[in-house]
Amino acid sequence: MKHVRLKTISLKNHPQFNERWLQDVIAEDPSILGIGDVFLKDKERIHAGAGRLDLLLQDNDGHSRYEVEIQLGATDESHIIRTIEYWDIERKKYPQYDHTAVIVAEDITSRFLNVVGLFNGYIPIMAIQVVAIETSDGIGLQFTKVLDTVKLGYLDEDEETAEPTDRNFWETVRGTKKTVALADRILDIAKAFAPTAELSYNKHYIGTWVDGRACNFAVLRPQKNALRLEIHLPQSEELDDLITKADLDFLDYDKRWGNYRLKLSDQDISEKQGTLSDLLKQSYEIRK
């Protein structure tokens, strides 16, 4: 089979295949960007005093949104500012979602990467380079993620700087004695495979320590009427099915931290101990 040299074209200088055309193609099938299972939420979204956001995409799980700005040719300062501005407006207006700024351009310059690198980690931003390829059947598009959002570290890595509290704080301020006792029961389940596991009381969560060091395979947040349990595991259909079949109260999958979030009652822990043990052990094996 012979090699065929692909012919790339510049959309910026093309009379027919322009920015509006590219916007329409992405809007029709947002999955071509390669950022996940997303759908079009809005197009040419008006922001008073700031212009129009090219595309607003949303995860099918309803947890994350992406503010997408399209630029033909090379990235420039105005598009960086515009993209961040749209992202900031949307996140302030709809704080219930995780928001990511996305720039799609034909040429992601090294200067752009240097500038964005200064604040990536504080502002979640992606840069996707698009290449247009001319074929006998039409124009093909290839999208390459040049810059991804900075992955957040484990809670373990910040354990030393976490503000410590004590059991009484969780029993009286954040939760109750009854819901903190549910955390004890989760710890008892974990001791079957991690005998030295213990609870660590911090201001925003109760973590787990093993052998005297942080190993947050389970993060517990006692509330007034229930216990929220967060288990750090990569999302998969197998785990989704396991949780569904066990009829656990599945809140959502937190993509930002990589956690399955469950809401548990005393009855849940009693009746679904086997499934909880399985999930906790898998998380422990990854973290230990």
What is 158-187 written as a DSSP string?
Answer: GGGGS-B--HHHIIIIIS-HHHHHHHHHHH
* Class (C level, CATH) for 7-147: alpha beta
CA distance 127 to 33: 11
Confidence band, pLDDT 50/70/90 cuts, at residue 158: very low
Length of the chain: 288
Residue 63, pLDDT above cutoff 90 = no
> Could you give the 3-state DSSP secondary structure of residue 124?
coil
Quick one: tokens of 17?
Answer: 């295949």
pLDDT by residue (tens digit) across 171-219? 998 899 999 999 999 999 999 999 999 999 988 889 999 998 888 899 9
Confidence band, pLDDT 50/70/90 cuts, at residue 161: very low
pLDDT, averaged across the chain = 86
Mean pLDDT of 101-120: 82
pTM for the predicted model, two decimal places: 0.56
Q: What pLDDT does residue 265 have?
A: 94
Better pLDDT: 164 or 270: 270
Quick one: tokens of 57?
Answer: 């995409």
Burial class (CB in 10 A: 0-12, 13-18, 19+), 41: middle
CA distance 46 to 53: 6
Confidence band, pLDDT 50/70/90 cuts, at residue 162: low
Most confident of 14-28, 61-75, 188-202, 244-258: 188-202
pLDDT by residue (tens digit) across 265-286? 999 999 999 999 999 999 999 8
Nearest CA-CA partner of 247 in 225, 260, 262: 262
H-helix segments, the chain = 19-28, 77-93, 110-119, 167-169, 177-190, 237-245, 266-271, 273-287
Residue 160, pLDDT above cutoff 50 = no
CATH of 155-287, one of 2.30.30.700, 3.40.50.720, 3.90.660.10, 3.90.1150.20: 3.90.1150.20
Better pLDDT: 273 or 8: 273
* Residues of the chain by 3-state class (helix, strand, coil), percent to 5: 35, 35, 30
Quick one: tokens of 152?
Answer: 């957040």
Phi, psi (5° rounding) for residue 43?
-135, 140
Quick one: tokens of 42?
Answer: 């809005």
Rounded to the nearest angstrom, the gap between the alpha carbon of residue 143 and the centroid of all alpha carbons in its chain is 20
Confidence band, pLDDT 50/70/90 cuts, at residue 157: very low
Q: What pLDDT does residue 151 have?
A: 52
For residue 259, give every residue at least 6 positions away whose Cβ sits within 8 Å of its Cβ, in sequence order, or none: 219, 230, 231, 232, 233, 253
Confidence band, pLDDT 50/70/90 cuts, at residue 36: confident
For residue 31, give every residue at least 6 positions away whose Cβ sits within 8 Å of its Cβ, in sequence order, or none: 37, 38
Rounded to the nearest angstrom, the gap between the alpha carbon of residue 118 and the centroid of all alpha carbons in its chain is 21
Indicate the domain borders of the chain.
Answer: 7-147, 155-287
CA distance 61 to 44: 23
Confidence band, pLDDT 50/70/90 cuts, at residue 163: low
How much of the chain exceeds pLDDT 70, in percent? 92
Looking at the DSSP assignment, which residues form a beta bridge with residue 141? 132
